[in-house]
Amino acid sequence: MNRVHDHRLEQLRAIEADLLSPPPEDPFQSFPKGWIRAADLKTEDWDRMSRERSMSPPPREPSPVRRVMRRTPPRHNNRVMPINVPERRAARQLNAVARRARTPVIRRQPIQQNDPMDVENIPPVPAVDLRRRPLSPTQLPGVRAIPKDFNRYFRGLLTPGEYFAKSQSRYLGPFETMPTAATLPADDEYIILQRMGRLPDSGKSIFRQVGNVST
């Protein structure tokens, strides 16, 4: 243990002596043979040495070619993944169980057929006028709906005018007032139209529906 301590102490003393010693006059204490120091060269020696050496730059080593690293896309798989369809029988059973749980149980009372039906005292069924649905103006022959784009152009130019009654087979008018069932032929369905103006390009009349009349 003491030997190691003494050796370490000697190393520290040597380092301290190197640090405290003055710098040498010539820093190149060891100089290889066959070389000339720059401090000993003269101007003629510098010129001669510069002429002997080639002034061409040192050869440049070619740099390696660097290519752009492109990220390759993953391989496309044309195989269609199968769809996991549950078994229909099990699905139907689950739906049936859920439907039975949601459906309330209604107990039906048995019909008592002991009392005979009194046919004579049954009130008569009132007669119902089975008429067709009211016609739409576009269902009539020669009637077409105005495009929605026309509304913004003709909304301020339309003015109410004469009345007309039109059905599938009749076209009546003009009327000064709105026609009624008393002023129209019987056994027909009419749409009451009111003229609002004419189209500037074709001159066709513009109507609006004001009512339906069935005679």
Query: Is the Cβ–Cβ distance between 135 and 189 less than 8 Å?
Result: yes
Query: Is the Cβ–Cβ distance between 175 and 124 less than 8 Å?
Result: no
Alpha carbons within 13 angstroms on the beta-carbon side of residue 33 total 0
Alpha helices per DSSP H over 66-206 = 88-102, 151-154
Supply 14's token pair.
């040597």
Length of the chain: 215
The per-residue pLDDT for 114 is 58
Residue with tokens 């077409």: 144
The mean pLDDT of the chain is 76
Mean pLDDT check: name the lowest of 34-38, 122-126, 166-170.
Answer: 122-126
The beta-carbon contacts of 159-163 under 8 Å, at least 24 apart in sequence, are 159/196, 159/197, 160/194, 160/195, 160/196, 161/194, 161/195, 161/196, 161/197, 162/194, 162/195, 163/192, 163/193, 163/194, 163/195, 163/210
In this prediction the pTM is 0.35
DSSP labels, 67-91: ----PPPPPP--PPPPP-PPPHHHH
Supply 164's token pair.
């007309």
Summarize pLDDT for 142-164 with one digit per residue, the tens.
777 776 666 666 666 678 889 99
* 168 closest CA partner among 188, 187, 185: 188
DSSP state of 109: P
Summarize pLDDT for 93-133 with one digit per residue, the tens.
888 888 888 777 777 776 666 556 666 666 776 665 555 56
